[in-house]
Chains A and B, each alone.
Chain A
Amino acid sequence: MKFGRRAFLQFAAGAVGGTLLSPLPWKLADDSAIWSQNWSWRPSPERGLVSKVPSTCLFCDGGCGIQVHLVNKKNAIYIEGNAANPVNQGGVCPLAASGCQFLYAPYRVSQPLKQTKARGDASGFQPISWEQAIGEVGAALGKMRTSGNSQGLAGISGRPRSSMFHLWRQFFSAYGSPNLFQMPSHADSLELACMLTLGHEATPAFALERASYVLSFGANLLEGWGAPARMQSVFGQWRQERAGIAQPKIVQIEPRLSLTATKADEWIAVKPGTQCALALGIAHVMIKNHLYDDFFMTSQVVGFEDWIDAGGNTRQGFKSLVMQNYAPAQVAEWTGVAAARIEEIAGQFAAQEYAVAIWGEDGGKTPDNIYSDLSFLALNLLKGNMQPGGMVSLVPPVPLEVLPEVQMDQWAYRGLQQPRLDLTQTRQLPLPGNGLYAFLDTINRGGSPYSVEMLMIYEANPVYSLAENRLIKEALGKISSVVTFTSYMDETALQADLILPNHMALERYDDVIGLPGVPYAYYAVSRPVLPPRLQTKHTGDVILALAATIGGTVKGSLPWKNFEAFLQSRVKGLAAAGTGALAGKPGVQPWALQSGQAPKSNYKNPKDLWNKLTSGLCWYGPPVDALQQINTASGKYELACVSLQNRGVNVEDAAVYLPHFAPLTPSGDAQAFPLLMMGYRRLNISSEYLANPPFMTKTLWDFLLKGNDLFVEIHPETAKSLGLKQGDRATLTTPEGEVKVRIRIFAGAHPGTVCVVHGLGHTAYDEYIQDKGININDIIEVQMDPITGMGTVWATRAQLARA
C-alpha cells in the first residue's frame, strides 16, 4: 500500500469535507469581518470617563470661558465654550476649538534647550536640565548687574493683559532695566491718545451691546477686533430678529470688502488710509448743521473753540480747523466718497441716539497713527458719546492687589536712571509709550549708549509676527544672548541661544485682566486643566527662581513662593475692593451695569473668590465713564492736546495740537511701486504667537491657499491693467523684498491695491504648517509715528508682475 497521488486526493477530499463540517471556515469568515473593524493601522481612541474642567482661554486677549473635556482626567480631547461666561456665552472661536492641537503639538519644546552651534541651526539645540538653565541665566544676569550693565537686559513680552506682565515689570525694575517692551497692539496708541486728552493712560471701550448705529472706520469687528468672541456674540444679538424692533445699522468704512463689510448693512469703499479724513468730514457736517451739544463742547472740552496757549497766543480750535479743512467736497476728493453721501452719513450718525464710531484696522494688532485715534475720539466726543452713560467709556481698571514697592539697590537705581532705548534718531520721543520699533531702530543703528547683552522674549514670536520683521532679525544679530520663554519651537525660539519652555496655556495658572474695547470690568483666571505633559516650567516660577538666584533686593522685590501664590495675592486685593461680582450662571449681563453701580458681591472672602475664579467663574464690575476721571491740567477733555507743548513738539503749526488727517507716507517710488499692499486677517488663520493649527488650515479655501501657493487679491481692473488673469503666478515686490504669489481676482478689492492675508508662510514648526504661502510681515513696511515712536501699519507700496 502506498500513498500515491490518488490516495492523496482522496485524503484531501476527506479533509475538505471534514473542514466544511467543522466550525473552522465559518468562524474564520466571521472573524475576518470583525477583524476588519479593528485595523491596527487606524488609531483606537483611549476609552474612559469624560470629565469637563472649566478654565479661561489664553489663546488671545479675548478672555473667553472654556470647558476642556478630558478622558480619564488626562487626555484633553475637546474645548467648548463656558455658557456661564458673559463674554462668549458658550461659543468659541476656531482657535479655542483647536486648542488641544497646541497641547499635543509635535513642535512643542519638551525641555530647556541650549544652542551649541550657530543661531538658527535647529540641530544645535542640546537639552539641559532646569537647574543648569536657571543657574546659567541667573549667573549671567548677576554678572551683568554687578558690572554695572543691568540696563543691558531687554525684554519683549506677549500677553500684556496678564499678571505675568506685571511680574515681568517687577522683575525688570528690581533688576534695574528700563527696557521692557510689549508686542505692539492698538492699545499702545490708544493709551497715549487718552493720555493726551484725559491725562491718564486708558483705552476706550464701546457699549456695542446697546448700539443702534455703528459707524465702523475699518474696525474688523468679525475678524479679531477687540475681544473676538464678544464681538461674535454681539453680532449675533444685533442680527437677532425681534418683533417690532429694528436691528442696528452697521456701516463699514474700509477699502476692501472684508468679512465685516459684507456682513454690514452698508459698505463704503473709501480710498486706502483715508478713514480719518472721512471722520473729520462727518464732524464738519455735524458742526455745520449744529448737530452737537454746544454747552458740553464749550464747557467741558478744551480746544473746541479757539484757545489760548501757555505763551498767551490764541490758537485755532477744532471747530475752526474742521470747518476750514474738512468740507465734504474736500473730503470727497481724499476719500472717494461723494460729498452728498458724507452729509447723509453724518445726518444718520447724529440722529441716532445710540450711534457710535469705532475704529482700529488690522484687528487691533498694530498701533494707529496718534492723530487718527484722536480724530475718532473727537468724533465720538462731538456725538456726545463720552458723556456719562454714553456709548464710549473706558476699559475699567481691575482692582487687583498692587505689587509691593520695588526694593532698589545701587545697581537697580543706576540701571533705571539710564535712558530707555526707544530713542528716535534725533531726540527722545515726545510721547513715549510701548516704543518697540523705536527700540529696535536704536539697536539696529547702533544708537544705544550702552550695550544690550541679553534679550528675553516671552510668549511672543516677533521674528515671524512683527510687521517688518527684518527689524527684529537684525536686532537679534546685535544682541549677544537671546533667551525665549515659549512652549513651541517657533521662528523666534529657533533664533534663541536658550529656550526655557513655558507650560502651554492649558497647563498653567494665568489670568486675563480686562478686555480690549469692552466697557465692563473683567477678570478671569486660567488654571491647569491637566498636569504638564513635558519637562516645562511656568515662566512665572522661572522669573521667581532667577530673582532668587540673583538674590538681594531682586529677591526681596519678588517675595512669592511661586506663581500661584503670586496670583492668589493679587486676587486678595480684588476681593478687598468689593466692586464686582462673579458670573456663575448663564444670563449675567455685565454690560447692563451703570457706571459706579457695583453688582452685589457674591463671594465670602479672598479664599472663596480664588476658589470660584479657579473653578471657571469670572469676575465683572461696572463701567467707568470716560470723563469720570480727568487728570489733565485744565481738568477738562483736551481736544487740543495742550500737553504736547511741554513735550518738545514743534508747535508752529496749529494742527499739531488738534486731531487732523496726517497720513504717514509709505516709502518707495510710486512709479516703481504703483500699487498699495494691505494686509488683512481672518479668524480662521492664527496670525500672531500661535501658528495655524491643522484644524484651521483645513478650513482655508483653495482660492486662498493651494498647495503651498498663496493667492493675493486684486481688483478686476487692476488685474486687467497688469495683464494678470485668475490664478496666474506673479511676483509681489515691495521696498522690503519680493515673494512669489498667485492671483485671485476679487471684486471686493480696492482698485490699485493688493490684499494679502496674515498668518501664513511660517518657516518653523512641522509639515502641517511650514512653507504654506508667504509671510506678509517679511515684505510689509512699518511707518513710525514721529510723536509716539510706534510702528504703524496701513499700506506698503508694491508691484505685481507675472512670474
Chain B
Amino acid sequence: MSDNGHTQSGVLYGMAIDLDKCTGCMACSVACQAENNISFRPDESNKLRSITWMEVYYLDNGAEHPDYRFSYLPRPCMHCNAPHHSPCTFVCPVNATVRDEATGIVGHIYPRCIGCRYCMVACPYHARDFNWWDPAWPEPMEQMLSPKVSTRMRGVVEKCSFCSHRLNAARSKAYLDGLEMSEVTYTPACVEACPSQAIAFGNLLDEHSEVARLAKSERAFRLLSKLNTEPKVYYLSRHPWLHNLANASL
C-alpha cells in the first residue's frame, strides 16, 4: 500500500466522456440496460424510483433565447478513487460495496446488500438506485436476460459496475492467450454502443491509453471535484458553462 491507501498494481480503469461529441441519443443508457438486466416498470417517469445505471442528465446554460443552450451529461458510477474509500464504500455497514484496489472498480454485491441505503445517501452523484420492487419482465421478455449479470432482488441497491463482468471475460481470454493481466483491456457496453465514439475507456495509469490522454486535456473536468472524491470518470467540453456547472450539485 502506498500512503494514499492504494495498492500499486498498474491498472486503474477510468472513463472519459467527450460532451462535445455526445449527442444525447441515449444508446449508452439503453445498451447498459440490456447488458446489465436492468429492470423497468410500466411507468418510469418517477425518477426517484427508476433504476438507471447510465443516467443522462440535461444541463443548460440558463441564458435567454437565442443564447440558451443545453447539453447532455451521461453519468455512470464515478468509481471514486478518493484515498482509502469511496463515499459509498466508507458507509456500507456490511461490506457489500467495496473498491477493488487492483483495478479501481467499485463493486456492489447484491445478496450481501441489506438495503440500508446509506450508500445512496453518501453518493454525491446519485449513481445508486434502490430496488423498491421485485424486478418483473413482461412475458416472454425474461428470455432476453443476460446470464452474464445476475438479476437483483427487491430491497437491494444497485449501480454501474464498469461492466466488470466484461473485465472478467476479457481476463479469461487473456489467461488462455497467456497475456499479462495488467495489459487486459475491455470495453463496457456503453462505450461500445456510443455511435459518435464519445466515450473512451481504459487504464488511466497507462500513459499511452486514450483515456489517460483525454483526462489531461484542457477540456477535461470532473464532477464535483471540490469534494475530493477523485472520480475516475472524466468529462470533456469546450464550453466554460459546463465546467462551471460541474461543481454545482447534480
B70-A697 in contact (CB<8A) = no
Contact yes or no, A235 B21, CB < 8 A: yes
Task: Kindly state the separation between the CA atoms of A767 and B137 in the bound complex, as whole angstroms.
Answer: 12
The interface-forming segment of A89-97, A362-370, A515-523, A792-800 is A89-97
Contact at A702–B45, with CB atoms within 8 Å?
yes
Contact A697 B135 (CB under 8 A): no
| Most A-side CB within 10 Å, residue of B66, B153, B195, B196 | B195
Give CA–CA (A698, B27) in the complex, Å. Answer: 12
Between B34, B46, B135, the greatest number of chain A beta carbons within 10 A of the residue's beta carbon is seen for: B34
* Minimum distance in angstroms from A205 CB to a CB of chain B: 20
Shortest C-beta distance, A715 to chain B (Å), equals: 6
Say if the beta carbon of B1 comes within 8 Å of chain A: no
Looking at chain A's contact residues, the main secondary structure is loop
**Residues A768 and B138 in contact, CB atoms below 8 Å apart:** yes
Q: Is B152 an interface residue (CB 8 A)?
A: yes
Nearest CB of chain B from residue A63's CB, rounded to whole Å: 13
- Is B30 among interface residues, defined by CB-CB distance under 8 A? yes
Q: Known: A269-B65, A701-B58. Is A75-B29 also a contact (CB below 8 A)?
A: no
Q: Convert B54-72 into 0s and 1s, putting 1 for each residue whose CB lies closer than 8 angstroms to a CB of A.
A: 0010101001111011110
Q: Give the contacting residue for B27; candidates A36, A94, A700, A706; CB below 8 A.
A: A94
A657 to chain B, nearest CB (A): 36
Instruction: Tell me whether B230 is interfacial, beta carbon within 8 Å.
Output: no
The proximity string for A residues 32-70 relative to B, scoring 1 for CB distances below 8 Å and 0 otherwise, is 000011010111111110100000000000000000010
Assess whether B195 is in contact with A233, with CB atoms less than 8 Å apart: yes
B146, B151, B153, B196 — most chain A CB neighbours (10 Å): B196
**A533 to nearest B CB, angstroms?**
8
Q: Which of B20, B58, B138, B195 contacts A93 (CB 8 A)?
A: B195
Would A233 and B197 count as touching, CB distance under 8 A? yes
Contact in complex: A747, B64 (CB < 8 Å): yes
The answer to whether A706 and B45 touch (CB under 8 A), given A75-B144, A93-B195, is yes
Check A239 against B195 for contact (C-beta < 8 Å): no
In the assembled complex, B24 has its CB within 8 A of some CB on chain A: yes
Binds B, one of A259-267, A287-295, A466-474, A546-554: A259-267
B50: CB under 8 A from chain A? yes
B158 is an interface residue with CB less than 8 A from chain A: no
Given A75-B143, A97-B193, A698-B52: A263 in contact with B23 (beta carbons within 8 A) = yes
**Docked-complex contact B197 and A236, CB < 8 angstroms:** yes
B208 within 8 A of A: no
CA of A699 to CA of B72, assembled, Å: 12
Residues of A within 8 Å of B194, CB to CB, are 91
The answer to the question of A531 belonging to the interface, with a C-beta cut-off of 8 Å to chain B, is no
A47 to B42, CA, bound (A): 27
Please judge, given known A-B contacts A91-B27, A699-B30, whether A42 and B153 are in contact too, CB under 8 Å.
yes
- Of A239, A683, A696, A699, most buried by chain B (CB within 10 Å of CB) is A699
Q: Are A707 and B43 in contact (CB under 8 A)?
A: yes
Stretch at the interface among A100-108, A353-361, A432-440: A100-108
- Determine whether A705 belongs to the interface, using a CB cutoff of 8 Å to chain B: yes
Against B, the Cβ 8 Å flags (1 = close, 0 = not) of A78-89 are 111100000011
A79 to B66, CA, bound (A): 39
The residue on B at minimum CB distance from A694 is: B40
CB of A695 closer than 8 Å to a CB of B: yes
Decide if B37 touches A81 in the complex (CB within 8 Å): no
- Verify B45–A106 contact, CB threshold 8 A: no
B151–A91 touching, CB < 8 Å? no
Tell me the bound Cα distance from A759 to B145 in angstroms: 26
Q: Which residues of A contact B35 (CB under 8 A)?
A: 78
A269 to B68, CA, bound (A): 11
Q: Distance (Å) between the CB of B176 and the closest chain A CB? A: 15
Cβ-based interface call for B240 (8 A): no
Is A77's CB under 8 angstroms from B45's CB? Answer: no
Expressed in whole angstroms, the minimum distance between the Cβ of B189 and any Cβ of chain A is: 8
- Contact assessment for B34 and A79 in the assembled complex, using a CB-CB cutoff below 8 Å: yes
Any chain A CB within 8 A of the CB of B25? yes
Closest A residue, CB atoms, query B110:
A37
Contact B196 A45 (CB under 8 A): no
Give, as a whole number of angstroms, the nearest-CB distance from B103 to chain A: 23
Interface hits, A591-639 → B, CB 8 Å:
none
What residues of chain B lie closer than 8 Å to A194, measured between beta carbons? none
Check A279 for interface membership: any CB of B closer than 8 A.
no
Size category of the A interface is: 35 or more
Query: Do A748 and B151 contact each other (CB < 8 Å), given the known contacts A239-B18, A699-B26?
Result: no
Q: Digitize B179-223: 1 where CB-to-A-CB distance is under 8 Å, 0 elsewhere.
A: 000000000010011111110000000000000000001000000
Is there contact, CB below 8 Å, between B111 and A37?
yes
* Complex contacts, A69 vs chain B, CB 8 Å: 146
In the assembled complex, the Cα of A69 lies from the Cα of B193 at a distance in Å of: 14
- Which residues of chain A from 263 to 290 have any CB-CB distance to chain B below 8 Å in the complex? 263, 267, 269
Most B CB within 10 A of own CB, among A235, A236, A698 = A698
B147 in the interface, Cβ–Cβ < 8 Å? yes
A215 interfacial by beta-carbon distance below 8 Å = no
Separation of A137 and B40 alpha carbons in the complex (Å): 40
Give CA–CA (A696, B144) in the complex, Å: 16
A91 to B241, CA, bound (A): 29
Is residue A136 contacting chain B, with contact meaning CB distance below 8 A?
no
> Contacts of A381 on B, CB cut-off 8 Å?
none
> In the complex, what residues of A have CB within 8 A of residue B143's CB?
46, 75-76, 104
B82 at the interface (CB under 8 A from A): no
B217: chain A residues at CB < 8 Å are 241
* Bound Cα distance from A106 to B141, whole angstroms: 8
Q: State whether B25 touches A232 (Cβ < 8 A).
A: yes
A687 within 8 A of B: no
**What's the Cα separation between A44 and B148 when bound, in Å?**
11
The answer to whether A748 touches B68, judged by C-beta atoms less than 8 angstroms apart, is: yes
Query: Is B224 close to A, CB under 8 A?
Result: no
Q: Complex: how many Å from CA A191 to CA B156?
A: 56
- The answer to whether the Cβ of A505 comes within 8 Å of any Cβ in the partner chain is no
Known: A45-B151, A263-B23, A702-B47. A77 touches B30 (CB 8 A): no
Q: B66 and A269: CB pair below 8 A?
A: yes
Complex CA distance for A748 and B44, rounded to whole angstroms: 26
- Of listed A43, A98, A228, A703, residue having the most chain B CB within 10 A: A43
Q: Is the CB of B30 within 8 A of A695?
A: yes
In contact, A50 and B148 (Cβ under 8 angstroms): yes
* 8 Å CB contact of B23 from A80, A89, A259, A694: A259
In the bound complex, what is the Cα–Cα distance between A152 and B75 (angstroms)? Answer: 56
Contact at B21–A236, with CB atoms within 8 Å? yes
A759 → chain B, closest Cβ, in Å? 13
A92-B31, A93-B27, A100-B34 known; A45-B193 Cβ under 8 A: no
C-alpha spacing A648/B241, complex, angstroms: 57
* B164: interface (CB < 8 Å): no
B69 A257 Cβ-Cβ under 8 A? yes
Please report the C-alpha to C-alpha distance between residue A164 and residue B210 in the assembled complex, in whole angstroms.
44
In the bound assembly, the distance between CA atoms of A228 and B23 in angstroms comes to 12
Bound together, the chains give a CA A768 to CA B70 distance in angstroms of 29
Cβ-defined partner of B193 (8 Å) among A42, A92, A749: A92
Residue from A48, A101, A766 with most neighbouring chain B CB atoms (10 Å): A101
Find A80's partner among B69, B137, B146, B192 (CB 8 Å cutoff): B192
Whether A262 lies near B70 (C-beta < 8 A) is yes
User: What are 24 A-B pairs at a CB distance below 8 A?
Assistant: A39-B134, A44-B151, A45-B37, A45-B142, A45-B150, A46-B143, A78-B34, A78-B189, A100-B34, A104-B141, A106-B140, A233-B197, A236-B195, A257-B65, A257-B69, A257-B70, A259-B24, A262-B71, A533-B140, A695-B40, A698-B52, A701-B58, A706-B45, A767-B42
Known: A47-B147, A100-B144. 17 other contacts (CB 8 A): A42-B151, A42-B152, A44-B151, A45-B145, A92-B193, A98-B34, A236-B197, A241-B217, A257-B65, A684-B26, A696-B26, A697-B44, A699-B29, A706-B45, A747-B64, A748-B70, A751-B65
6 shortest A-B CB distances, which residue pairs? A91-B195, A236-B196, A232-B195, A45-B145, A747-B68, A684-B26
